[in-house]
Amino acid sequence: MSRSYFQFKQFCIHHDHCAMKVGTDGVLLGAWGCVEGHRILDIGTGTGLIALMAAQRNPVAQVLGIDIDEQAVQQAKENLADSPFNKRVSCVLQDVLTFQPDATYDAILCNPPFFTEDTMPDDALRALARNNSKLPFSSLIPKVASMLSANGSFSVIIPSKLVQEFVGICLIENLYLQRRCQVRTTSKKTPRRALLTFFKEPVTKCEEQEICIMAANGTKTKEFIELTKDYYL
């Protein structure tokens, strides 16, 4: 049985009422994504993990997490309230596609759904959280573009096989890829995830990175430990 909570260095995440538990994808995005500016939005916040990591990394930002899962939002609110960043982080029950913010955001982060209906996992709640028919890229990306400030950043983590589709839709919305990090589980495996950051300003060259999570001996690699050292105990 999985633990009902996950203890990080500066906060604790309870996730027993959330469809999506604390996982490596969220930690990677929270540690790698751009969090500059004064207003940060975490779309599909789930447990509130990425929102809290953003608040830890940026001590002047106000961070908002939104999600359509009522149970997740309630648990996220409890996790945020118990954190040292509770005065700067909040969470609301909100569908991003109908969200009307009072101002644009300097940084938007999202660990978006990516299972299609014929590849969904068996668990119904997890399926909802990861079913991209509920939030297709073709709807998510234009909405993000409309909420992003002129110099703002949009950071995501998606399966590597979906990068071309995702980047193509972003280009249509005048969002340009400036940073990419390919994620390998082990050095012998092909990249399974990609961390991407987009801006509204075109660039001549995208900054390319790669990170491998596990070494040959089964331990975490030095680069993964370095990236996540401020969070994992």
So where are the chain's domains?
Answer: 22-228
Is the torsion defined by CA of 202, 110, 228, 162 positive or negative? negative
Lowest model confidence (mean pLDDT) among 20-24, 63-67, 93-97, 133-137: 133-137
Q: What is the CATH code for 22-228?
A: 3.40.50.150
Residue range 153-172, pLDDT digits in tens: 999 999 999 999 999 999 99
Q: What is the pLDDT of residue 134?
A: 64
Q: Looking at the predicted structure, is the pLDDT value of residue 175 above 60?
A: yes
**pLDDT band with cut points at 50, 70 and 90 for residue 223:** very high
The C-alpha atoms of residue 129 and residue 114 are separated, in whole angstroms, by 9
Q: What is the pLDDT of residue 124?
A: 47
Q: What is the mean pLDDT of the chain?
A: 91
The C-alpha atoms of residue 88 and residue 64 are separated, in whole angstroms, by 8
- Chain position carrying tokens 């779309």: 43
**pLDDT band with cut points at 50, 70 and 90 for residue 114:** low
- Dihedral of CA atoms 231, 9, 96, 168 in degrees, nearest 10, equals 0
* Tokens standing for residue 149: 């400030």
Q: Helices 49-57 and 24-32 sit at what angle, rounded to 10 degrees?
A: 30
The C-alpha atoms of residue 228 and residue 68 are separated, in whole angstroms, by 28
Distances (CA, A) of 39 to 108, 125, 126, 148, 156: 9, 30, 29, 10, 17
